[in-house]
Amino acid sequence: MRGKRIVIAGGGDSAVDWALSLAEVAASITVVHRRDKFRAVPANVAAMQAHPKIALKTPYQLSGLTGEDGELSKIMVSEIGGGPEPLEADTLLALFGLASDLSPLAGLGIDISGKTIAVEASTCETSRTGIHAIGDVADYPGKLKLILTGFSEAATAAHAAHARVFPGKAIHSEYSTTRGVPGISPEPALMSA
Ligand SMILES: Cc1cc2nc3c(=O)[nH]c(=O)nc-3n(C[C@H](O)[C@H](O)[C@H](O)COP(=O)(O)OP(=O)(O)OC[C@H]3O[C@@H](n4cnc5c(N)ncnc54)[C@H](O)[C@@H]3O)c2cc1C
């Protein structure tokens, strides 16, 4: 991406985050979005709009690609209701969201509702005993779709699974504050606490 003329299509967090990150190294960044409003963290949208190296094309959409020998040279964009305009570009990033497909799980006999799987929050167990789900796909009242939540659910599910696999056997948690993070010595103050 270094030194490239990059066009990013999309209006969500991914498009905005990549525009800001790649602006540090790219020759130019143009963000094409079919609405004037972006669906992303407001502070990042403001930073993108104020960035001297990021050009915004809104409300625009992609209408074609041109190039030779497999090399992209121009991206055609058009204003909503207007004709095509060329944008000189080396790279196109289309960031229109993730299409997650839960159909491979259909045979497991767990309750799937749209793009989520309902779990019991205290165990992350699905409707089928012994099968747990964690991360964005797992749903329960008050769910927050964050990486932090996914890690927490992994620990919750592992504890519940341990109790099933080793009934009556206690888990003795090892904390990074007392044992240290692998490769990093624990804090002396915490060791003596
Ligand atoms: C732009 C953006 C910024 C974010 N920033 C933060 C942040 O700063 N802090 C934070 O805590 N959270 C943040 N999040 C949320 C965080 O990314 C998610 O909560 C986290 O990635 C969820 O992890 P996951 O493993 O459950 O799901 P995902 O990361 O979505 O991973 C699921 C994977 O499964 C794949 N998949 C789907 N269906 C199939 C299939 N049928 N076969 C094979 N593979 C399949 C998908 O392609 C995907 O790779 C952000 C999200 C976005 C979009």
In this prediction, residue 22 carries a pLDDT of 97
- Check if 99 has its Cβ closer than 6 Å to any atom of ligand 1: no
Q: What percent of the chain has pLDDT over 90?
A: 75
What confidence category does residue 193 fall into, taking pLDDT thresholds of 50, 70 and 90? very low
Pick the residue whose CA is nearest to atom 35 on ligand 1: 100
> In this predicted model, what pLDDT tens digit does every residue of 44-67 receive, in sequence order?
999 999 999 999 999 999 999 998
154 Cα–ligand 1 center, Å: 14
Out of 16-30, 142-156, 168-182, pick the least confident.
168-182
191 Cα–ligand 1 center, Å: 35
* 71 pLDDT more than 70: yes
Q: What percent of the chain has pLDDT over 70?
A: 95
C-alpha 55 chain-centroid distance: 23
In this prediction, residue 70 carries a pLDDT of 86
In this prediction, residue 190 carries a pLDDT of 55
- Check if 170 has its Cβ closer than 6 Å to any atom of ligand 1: no
146 Cα–ligand 1 center, Å: 9
What confidence category does residue 157 fall into, taking pLDDT thresholds of 50, 70 and 90? very high
Residue 65's DSSP bridge partners are 75
Q: Give the pTM.
A: 0.69
What confidence category does residue 98 fall into, taking pLDDT thresholds of 50, 70 and 90? confident
Element (H, E) at 176: helix 176-179
Task: Work out whether the CA dihedral 18, 21, 27, 29 comes out positive or negative.
Answer: positive
